[in-house]
Each structure stands twice: as C-alpha cells, then as structure tokens.
C-alpha cells in the first residue's frame, strides 16, 4: 500500500484507546484559556512558550509539568471542556471507544471536590456518546508516590460514583513505588468487584509487571519491561492479559532511545495482546493515529499488524461481548471496503 494510503487506512480504521490520561490531553491553548477563566497564574507567557518546555528527561520531570497543568482545572465546566476536547479530537482518528484515566488526587488536594470533577467528565461522556458516537469509560488512578492510606481515602471519596467507574488504576512515578506498596488496597478493590489496572514496566522492571499480575491487574499499562522475563511473557500471553503500550510517550520520556528500537513488534511477536495508545497526547506530540503511523514507519508494521492492533484495542477493552463483536465486524467491513478500493 502506498504510504499516504496506509496513513489514511490507519487514521480511518475503527479503534479504541485504552490508555490516555485526561489531564495529559490538555492542549496548551486550553490550559491558557482555563488559567484565565480561573485566575490561575502560569509560569509561561504564551502557549508557544509552554510547548517549548515539553522536553523531558524522564517520567518524573514530565509529571512535574503535568501536575502544574492540573492547577488550571477548577470548575465543572473545565472538566467538561477538557474531556469534550479530547473526545472530539479522538473521533477524528475514528476512536469509537475511549477508556480514560483520571488522577483525582491532583484535584481534590487542590480543593476541587470529587463531585465537580465527576459531574464535568461524565456530562461530557454522555454528550459524546450522543453527539459523536464515541463511548467513553472512566478509570480512576491512585497516585503511587502517595500512601496506601491515601488510596483508601480516594476509594471512599469515589464511592457514590463506583457504578460509573470502569476500573481502578495505579499511576505516577514508578521507580521506588512498586505495585506491592498497594497490595491491601488492590485486594480490597478486587473484593468489592472492581476491575484493577496497573501501570508497570514503563521505567520499572519486569518484577513490577509480575507484581501487578499477582495483584490481579486485568490489564498492564505499558508493560514494556516484561520482555526481560521470558516466563512472565509466557504467563501474560497464556492468560491473555493485555498491555496498553504507549510508543510516543516512551520516546518522549526516554524509555526508548529511538522509535525503531521500540519493543512494540517484539511484544506482538511474543504472542501478547498488545494495544497502541497515546498516554498524554498533548505533551508527547501525538494522538492515537499518530502513534500508530509513527510506529508503522519506524518498525515497518504491515497492514495486517495494523488490523491486529485495531482488533486488539476492542478485544482488550471493557466493552460488553456484544459491543466488542459489533466493533470487530465494523473493522472487517472497513478492511473489505479498503481492499475493494485498492483493487
Ligand atoms: N500519569 C500520566 N502519564 C503517566 C505515565 N506515562 N506513567 C505513569 N503515570 C502517568
Ligand atoms: Zn499512563
């Protein structure tokens, strides 16, 4: 397929995004608009100056800017605008399903109530389903540099919204904060029937991925480092535990030196259920289709690889079996139409 056709094919194929932090989708212009709206001072003079600061040494150096950006989000309408802006942008990449992270502690510790955040985000989900045909689900993250006690306090605070929360996650600075630090917390989440997903193996080792699996994570967010432990790869493959891989994030946070050295294809070849995602697209320079396009070029992915990744994104999602079947049929139709167009 000629390059331009392959790019269009990638952008247009129906897909799900399973690893995207709502706070990480705030474009510089929106950050400035919300700073003005809420009289919050920013340390940059213009959106261009802010964007110019997006050079990161590692995860920690990124998280400092990411958390600074959270300070502009204060009112229900801000969370609505943020969420709607992401969902509109994702729709341009033919995202039909978006399962989105939110690190609520960043807001509650700024004095914003859980209700303010949830009302804004969930109103946008409802409008996006109606207006854009995108179904969205929310995953609330406990921040791993905070205590397990703080995670339990978060669980208490979100109690009234649990029916609308698809999973509980673990995010933030990985090194020195292994999943096992939250063993009791995740045991409680599981006992209460909540799904658990855990960021592991981004900067951390394969041992962190193993811990995440042992704590009952139904998806591993990132998971790159599992390749260092062949037995672990086998377990993940046998159990069909998905990895939500984020290639441009890995490049920007220097988890990989170059995209052509990214483990995406090796993970796929090892028989793992791999998906491609954008993580924090406004900071890392690419939404989901750009992640796929850049990987296609760097790793010479075939059209069949792209179709596998699109199928995996729905299979690994928390949609119902019926919704998954419908989404997979839609991919089949898309591929057939493309084949007809090419022939
Ligand atoms: N929060 C936002 N982006 C993250 C990442 N890449 N890893 C861990 N926590 C995050
Ligand atoms: Zn992430």
At 32, list the tokens.
């400035």
Residue 28 near residue 51, CB atoms below 8 Å: yes
Let me know if residue 270 belongs to a domain: yes
For every residue of 141-158, DSSP letters joined together read: EEETTS-HHHHHHHHHHT
Identify the DSSP state of 171: E
Q: What pLDDT was estimated at residue 256?
A: 98
CA distances from 74 to 65, 82, 307, 316 (A): 17, 11, 40, 33
Residue 174 near residue 202, CB atoms below 8 Å: yes
Q: What pLDDT was estimated at residue 337?
A: 94
Within 10 Å of residue 177's Cβ, how many Cβ atoms? 18
The Cα–Cα gap between 235 and 251 comes to: 27
pLDDT bracket for residue 2 (50, 70, 90)? confident
Pocket mutation for ligand 1, best pick of 102, 199, 225 (most atoms within 8 Å of C-beta): 199
Residue 243 near residue 277, CB atoms below 8 Å: no
At 198, list the tokens.
């855990």
Domain range enclosing 329: 6-342
Identify the DSSP state of 196: B
Question: Which pLDDT tens digit goes with each residue over 245-293?
Answer: 999 999 999 999 999 999 999 999 999 999 999 999 999 999 999 999 9
Identify the DSSP state of 15: E
The Cα–Cα gap between 115 and 108 comes to: 10
CA distances from 318 to 144, 211, 261, 303 (A): 23, 22, 30, 25
What is the percentage of the chain residues whose pLDDT exceeds 90? Answer: 97
Which one from 23, 202, 203, 294 is the annotated catalytic residue?
202
Degrees, nearest 5: CA angle 294-307-246: 40
* 221 Cα: distance to centroid of ligand 1 (angstroms): 9
Let me know if residue 1 belongs to a domain: no
| Ligand 1 atom with minimal separation from the 24 CA | 2
CB-based pocket (< 6 A), ligand 1: 21, 24, 59, 66, 171-172, 199, 202, 249, 279-280
At 191, list the tokens.
């006992």
User: At 311, which CATH number?
Assistant: 3.20.20.140
The Cα–Cα gap between 150 and 161 comes to: 18
Q: What pLDDT was estimated at residue 340?
A: 85
Q: What pLDDT was estimated at residue 343?
A: 59
Report the domain count for the chain.
Answer: 1
The answer on pLDDT for 3 being more than 90 is no
CA distances from 121 to 70, 200, 261 (A): 14, 26, 36
At 251, list the tokens.
């490049």
What's the average model confidence in pLDDT over 233-241? Answer: 98
The answer on pLDDT for 335 being more than 70 is yes
What is the percentage of the chain residues whose pLDDT exceeds 70? Answer: 100
Let me know if residue 94 belongs to a domain: yes
* 191 Cα: distance to centroid of ligand 1 (angstroms): 26
Interhelix angle 114-132/76-92, nearest 10 degrees: 30
Question: Which pLDDT tens digit goes with each residue over 50-75?
Answer: 999 999 999 999 999 999 999 999 99
CA distances from 157 to 65, 108, 172 (A): 26, 10, 19
Tokens 């673990």, residue? 170
What's the predicted TM-score (pTM) here? 0.98
The Cα–Cα gap between 13 and 9 comes to: 6
Pocket mutation for ligand 1, best pick of 20, 60, 63 (most atoms within 8 Å of C-beta): 63
Let me know if residue 243 belongs to a domain: yes
* 279 Cα: distance to centroid of ligand 1 (angstroms): 7
The SS3 call for residue 61 is helix
* 172 Cα: distance to centroid of ligand 2 (angstroms): 8
**Secondary element (H or E) of residue 100:** strand 95-102
Question: Which pLDDT tens digit goes with each residue over 112-167?
Answer: 999 999 999 999 999 999 999 999 999 999 999 999 999 999 999 999 999 999 99
The answer on pLDDT for 227 being more than 90 is yes
The answer on pLDDT for 239 being more than 80 is yes
The answer on pLDDT for 41 being more than 70 is yes
Q: What pLDDT was estimated at residue 4?
A: 78
Residue 248 near residue 285, CB atoms below 8 Å: yes
Let me know if residue 300 belongs to a domain: yes
Q: What pLDDT was estimated at residue 158?
A: 98
For this structure, is 211 an active site residue? no
Let me know if residue 26 belongs to a domain: yes
CA distances from 135 to 99, 173, 209 (A): 9, 29, 29
């Amino acid at each position: 397929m000629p390059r331009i056709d392959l790019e269009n094919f990638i952008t247009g194929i129906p897909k799900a995004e399973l690893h995207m932090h709502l706070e990480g989708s705030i474009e510089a212009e929106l950050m400035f608009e919300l700073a003005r709206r809420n009289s919050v001072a920013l340390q940059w003079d213009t959106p261009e100056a802010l964007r110019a600061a997006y050079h990161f040494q590692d995860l920690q150096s990124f998280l400092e800017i990411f958390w600074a950006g959270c300070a502009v989000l204060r009112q229900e309408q801000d969370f609505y605008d943020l969420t709607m802006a992401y969902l509109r942008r994702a729709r341009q990449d033919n995202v039909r399903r978006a399962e989105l992270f939110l690190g609520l502690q960043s807001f509650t510790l700024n004095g914003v109530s859980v209700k303010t955040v949830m009302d804004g985000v969930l109103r946008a989900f409802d409008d996006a389903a109606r207006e854009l045909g995108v179904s969205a689900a929310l995953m609330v993250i406990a921040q791993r540099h905070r205590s397990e006690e703080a995670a339990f306090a978060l669980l208490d605070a979100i109690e009234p919204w649990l029916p609308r929360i698809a999973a509980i996650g673990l995010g933030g600075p990985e090194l020195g904060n292994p999943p096992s630090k939250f063993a009791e917390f995740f045991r409680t989440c599981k006992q209460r029937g909540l799904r658990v997903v855990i960021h592991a193996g981004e900067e951390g080792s394969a041992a962190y991925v193993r811990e995440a699996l042992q704590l009952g994570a139904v998806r591993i967010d990132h998971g790159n480092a599992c390749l260092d432990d062949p037995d672990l790869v086998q377990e993940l493959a046998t159990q069909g535990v998905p990895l939500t891989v984020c290639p441009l994030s890995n490049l920007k946070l220097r988890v990989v030196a170059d995209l052509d050295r990214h483990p995406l294809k090796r993970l796929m070849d090892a028989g793992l259920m791999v998906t491609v995602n954008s993580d924090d697209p406004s900071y890392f320079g690419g939404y989901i289709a750009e992640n796929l396009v850049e990987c296609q070029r760097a790793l010479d992915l075939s059209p069949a690889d792209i179709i596998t990744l699109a199928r995996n994104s729905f299979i690994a999602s928390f949609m119902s079996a019926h919704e998954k079947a419908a989404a997979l049929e839609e991919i089949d139709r898309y591929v057939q139409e493309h084949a007809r167009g090419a022939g």
